[in-house]
Amino acid sequence: MMLGTCIAPFILIKWSAKADETQNERMAKILAALLVVNWGVYQVYRVFMGYWSVQFDLPLELCNWAIGITAMALWFKKQRLAELAFFWVMAGSIHGIITPDIHEPFPHLTYITFVIGHSGLVLSVFYAVFGLNLQPEKGALKRVFIASQVYLAVAISADFLLSANYGYLMSKPPGGSFLDLLHPWPYYILEMEIMGLVSYGLLYLPFWWRWRKERLLK
C-alpha cells in the first residue's frame, strides 16, 4: 500500500503531461467519483452490517472533509479547494497510510475502502496540484490554517455532544500512532496544532521558493 502510494502519483502526473485537456478532465472526474463512491460504499456497508452510529460514522473525520474538498477540486477544477486538499492530505491524511487504523486484513471490504480513501487521496491531490496545475498560491498557509481551525471547532464540538472521538481529539488511536509520542489529553491537541502548522509550512516552502526565484528573475 505504501509503495503504491509513493509510485502511483508520479506515473499519473507523467501521463497527464502527455494527455490532452479532455483526457485530463475525464481522469479528474474519475478520481473525484472514485473517492465519493468509495466513501459511500463504506457507509452502506456500515449500515448493512448494523455497525453505523453517530459516534463513528458521521463525515466528521479530517479525511472525510478532505475527500469532499478533493472531489470538488477535481470535478470543478477549483484552485482554492485544491490547495486546501493538498495541505490537509499531505499533512494529515497521510498519517493514515503511515500508521493505518485498519481493523481487518486484505481483502476485507473495510481494508479496500480504507486504502482507496487514503492512498486515493494522495494520488488525487498530487494529480490536482501537479497534473492539473491547481497549485497553492500566495496566502495559502493562512487560508489552510484558518480552515483547519474551522474543522477543529466543528469536530471537537461534535465529540463533546456525541461522546465521540472524531479527529482523535478526545483520545489517541488504540492501535498506536505518532500521537503516542505526545502528551496526554488535552495537551496533545495543542501539540497537534503546532505540528500541523509546521507541516503546512514545510509543504508551503517549495512553492514559496519558486515564487521567490520567479521574482528575482524578473
Using DSSP's 3-state secondary structure scheme, residue 35 falls into helix
Residue 93: which domain range? 2-217
Give the pLDDT of residue 101.
72
Which grid coordinates are listed for 96? 493514515
Q: What is the pLDDT of residue 4?
A: 86
Domain count, the chain: 1
Neighbour-count burial for 128-155, b at 16+ CB within 10 Å, e otherwise: bbbbbebbbeeebbeebeebbeebbeeb
Return the pLDDT at 22: 95
What is the tens place of the pLDDT at every residue in 92-109?
A: 888 778 777 777 788 889
Looking at residue 187, its pLDDT comes to: 95
Look at the pTM and tell me if it is higher than 0.85: yes
Provide the pLDDT for residue 31.
97
Residue 104's CB is within 10 A of a number of other CB atoms, namely 11
Mean model confidence pLDDT for the chain: 92
In this prediction, the residues of the chain whose per-residue pLDDT falls under 70 are: 218
| Per-residue model confidence (pLDDT) at position 3 | 86
Type of residue at 210 = R
For 181-205, the pLDDT digits (tens) are 899 999 999 999 999 999 999 999 9
**pLDDT on residue 176:** 72
Here the cell at position 129 is 496540484
pLDDT of residue 34: 97
Q: Is 218 exposed, middle or buried, given 0-12, 13-18 or 19+ CB atoms closer than 10 A?
A: exposed
pLDDT at 33: 98
